Amino acid sequence: MPYSTQVLDHYNNPRNVGSFDKDDPNVGTGLVGAPECGDVLRLQVKIDPATGRIEDACFKTFGCGSAIASSSLATEWLKGKTVEEALAIRNTEIVEELSLPPVKVHCSVLAEDAIKAAIRNYQEKQAQLPEQGQDQEQPAEVGSAS
Amino acid sequence: MVQPMVRTPIYLDNNATTRTDPRVVEAMLPFFTEDYGNAASRNHAFGWKAEEAVENAREQIAALIGCGPKEVIFTSGATESNNLAIKGVAAMYKSKGNHIVTVATEHKAVLDPCKRLERDGYTVTYLDVDRDGRVSAQQVAEALTDKTILVSIMGVNNEIGTVQPLAEIGKVCKAKGVLFHSDCVQAVGKVPVDVEAMGIDLLSLSGHKIYGPKGIGALYVRRKNPRVRLDPIIDGGGHERGMRSGTLPVPLIVGLGVACELCRKELTTEAERLTRLREKLREGIMSRLEEVYLNGHPTERQPGNLNLSFAFVEGEGLMMGMKEIAVSSGSACTSASLEPSYVLKALGVGDELAHSSIRFGLGRFTTEEDVAFTIDLVVKAVNHLRAMSPLYEMHKAGIDLNTIQWAAH
């Protein structure tokens, strides 16, 4: 199966490979997929609680080239976005950007799931934080991804 | 890592198909444009020439597997040979019984005809294999009933290269008077095959796996002790003793004959050379990478086949990083189905390691330099992917991946 130039580019030069401290309250971690299914995406976001903006994002992925490219692209798109904007990213946009064939659409679905899971994880951690001095501007609760 | 001496891409998928040997092509050519007669034309020189070429090829094939030339039936390939053997025996011996014994790791061209027969009222036993992919003669003996009419067990597995103990199985079948068919597509020309010594009654082989042309295969059908009879699946002009009608493709048959002759002459030296290259590849990779697992039997395997699982790395993703070599994977992503290799699953290899498997198929045209290049490439690609694998990171952190609640999708 020939890969699109965009997929090849992300595969050969993946953006933002790495890990953040998952215990950092400003870090949200999304781990989706399963080894026995052949795809595991771990996507992490670092969010500034004051502004609700994603300062940084990184990923590690076990999967095919399209899964790696989908996660790499997602981290690129996430940087600088607000939580609301990030949650508005749809898998179809990833499919379009990477020219994924129909059999690889599930890779983009996983990437969207990973974004949502990472942000949900951040929000859960923030909600559990002990009362802090300043009033945090919490982003509005967004429907949980399933 | 540029090694200019190697011409890429390197073909390492010889279990899928092989390059037609130039000597084979050369032998075939006159039968397209000069000696193009129909082998069934009994009344002119063109027909005689064609018939002579066909009979010569029959002898070349027979010499490789130890049978008589009249016992060779030409088909379009091993899929047809397997279908003819299984369905043909089932239909012909219906009054004797309705039970067939085969193995879970057989090729689909054996399993699917068996499944069809099950829908038609036959009973099929699918034997399990051990961790190395082997079935024992004792398992076969225990599966036989007084209704068993056929045992069908392959010589060499196409994915993992494991060699089955055909001679011992053949002995069990003989003792019980049950016909023994073997799909020897991956065995013929690669490991010694002798239908007498192994007690085989029907044997499937294919041209394109042995450096011959695609679109031609053969079925060996025993003529005495016992005389095997088959109900044909293709009716027509009564060619091939009535078992397979259709005008014989003389150029392809000539090619198959020459391919068999070359294999027979070169088998011993080639098996030694390929075993050495395969072990060089295996050791080269395994000494430089941790968490690499061999699939299939360590020694009882086809010389050119190496099947490895690279933990924490997905097979298709890995192949993408090794575009200078042509290999295949048991990963679901590379197959039409959503499931990883059923052969690896039958060995008890977990799904995650099945997704991480790569089959290297070395062959006649594989060189030392190809192997050295491949080792470097594999190590580099696996390291590249492990650096971005969350599973590898967890493994390095001492986390047992089995303790994690995965969100399966």
What would the DSSP string read from start to end of B282-324? HHHHHTT-SSEEE-S-SSSB-TTEEEEEETTS-HHHHHHTTTT
Q: How far is CA B209 from the centre of its chain?
A: 8
The closest of B315, B305, B309 to B293, measured between CA atoms, is B309
Q: How confident is the model at residue B256 (pLDDT cuts 50, 70, 90)?
A: very high
What is the tens place of the pLDDT at every residue in B361-388?
Answer: 999 999 999 999 999 999 999 999 999 9
Q: How confident is the model at residue A146 (pLDDT cuts 50, 70, 90)?
A: very low
Alpha-carbon distance values, B243 to A120, B75, B251 (Å): 67, 10, 21
Q: Check pLDDT > 50 for residue A143.
A: no
Q: In A, which residues are within 8 Å of B317 by CB distance?
A: 11, 62-65, 67-68
State the residue for tokens 């192949």. Answer: B319
Give the pLDDT mean for B190-214: 98
Q: Check pLDDT > 70 for residue A13.
A: yes
d(CA B285, CA A45): 36
Q: In A, which residues are within 8 Å of B332 by CB distance?
A: 38
Largest CA distance in chain B: 79
The ipTM value here is: 0.87
Q: How confident is the model at residue B108 (pLDDT cuts 50, 70, 90)?
A: very high
Task: Enumerate residues 6+ apart whose C-beta is below 8 A from B261.
Answer: B60, B63, B64
Give the pLDDT mean for B72-88: 98
The shortest CB-CB distance from B320 to any of A32, A65, A109 is to: A65
- CB of B326 within 8 Å of a chain A CB? The answer is no
Give the pLDDT mean for A42-46: 97
For residue A29, list its beta bridge partners.
A44
Q: Integer distance in angstroms from the first to the last C-alpha of chain A?
A: 31
Q: Looking at this protein, which amino acid is placed at residue B344?
A: L
- Peptide bond between residue B226 and the one before it cis (omega within 30 degrees of 0): yes
DSSP-derived letter for residue B76 is S
Q: What is the pLDDT of residue A142?
A: 43
Enter the tokens of residue B371. 């192997």
Query: Contact A68/B388, CB-based, under 8 Å?
Result: yes
User: Is B67 assigned a catalytic role?
Assistant: no
d(CA B63, CA B55): 12
d(CA A34, CA B361): 29
Optimal mutation site among B349, B355, B402, interface A, most CBs of chain A within 10 A? B355
Q: How confident is the model at residue B343 (pLDDT cuts 50, 70, 90)?
A: very high
The closest of B274, B293, B276 to B382, measured between CA atoms, is B293
d(CA B49, CA B37): 7
